[in-house]
Amino acid sequence: MGSPTLSLAKPFFEDGLLGLTQEELRTQLGTPMAVRSRKAALRVFSYYTYTDWQKYFRNLVSPENGEDVYTYTRNGIQVRYSFNYIPDLNERKDFPTLYVQRCEIEFSPAVSLETIQSLVPEFLPPSEQTAPAFRSNLWVLVFKGPPSPEASFIVKERDREKLSWSLAYQMFAINGIPNNLSIKTPIDRLEITTQSLQLVQQRQRLTHEPILNPFSAEFQERIPVETPTVKSIPQPQYED
């Protein structure tokens, strides 16, 4: 698939971020406070000042390996945005145009599921009970809105053109998602991405458990399921 047909990129979804060029994002948010480089697939990063990255380190790695970092303090919580990019390989240049592929937002300390929206204005979860939502023991995934016909441009998945890609919010908990998920569940990281509901339903059913949309009124009004208490084994009493 070629580059977006617009002379200036525009976001693919209502989050206003996915699909922007790096230049457009920096115009919108300003110069990054730092740039980080991921070590392989692990969540281990090296952080650089923007000046050092531009002068030296950007020449040592692939252009998309540098993630722009913006850190804010909101309501006493450190909110750190990191933008992952995908290059337009059709340009065949040493430094091709970069497009926002994913936005990671980390919270320190962790915040409850219900608090995220007050800290991240770009986070606009669906309120419909029927919005597709899934969970594992580490994350909660919620889809919102219809697919974007252009969004496959920022996807690396094989045969991406055969699938539909929608806005998705994936929330991670370092200490795990409890069996009794609630709006009070602590969340350490939010990822704003594009994912395929078809892919989840057809090939990822073993890892994605369907759940009620946790941002719907129906979820919040439900009666929590109590965790059964473990009864201790009676100890025999002996006479002295």
3-state secondary structure 100-149: EEEEEEEEEEEEEHHHHHHHCCCCCCCCCCCCCEEECCCEEEEEECCCCC
Alpha helices in the chain, H assignment, sequence order: 22-29, 50-55, 116-119, 197-203, 217-221
In a domain, 42, yes or no: yes
In a domain, 237, yes or no: no
In a domain, 194, yes or no: yes
In a domain, 158, yes or no: yes
> Per-residue pLDDT for the chain (240 aa), expressed as one digit of tens each?
444 434 445 788 888 899 999 999 999 999 999 999 987 667 888 999 999 998 988 888 887 889 999 999 999 999 999 999 999 877 777 788 999 999 999 999 999 999 999 999 999 999 999 999 999 999 999 999 998 888 888 888 778 888 899 999 999 999 999 999 999 999 999 999 999 999 999 888 888 999 999 999 999 887 665 544 444 455 555 554
In a domain, 12, yes or no: no
> Which one, of 98, 77, 97, 99, lies nearest residue 190 by Cα?
77
Note down the domain range covering 133: 22-221
In a domain, 109, yes or no: yes
The amino acid present at 31, given as its one-letter code, is T
The amino acid present at 48, given as its one-letter code, is Y
- Computed from CA positions of residues 212, 216, 220, 223, in that sequence, does the dihedral angle turn out positive or negative? negative
Reported pTM: 0.86
DSSP 135: E
H-run or E-run covering 71: strand 66-74
Residue with tokens 């919580």: 77
Residue with tokens 């204005």: 121
Q: Which residues have CB under 8 Å from 6's CB, separation 6+?
A: none
Q: Give how many domains the chain has, as a whole number.
A: 1
In a domain, 5, yes or no: no
Cβ count within 10 A of residue 136: 15
Q: Do 18 and 103 form a contact (C-beta atoms < 8 A)?
A: yes
In a domain, 234, yes or no: no
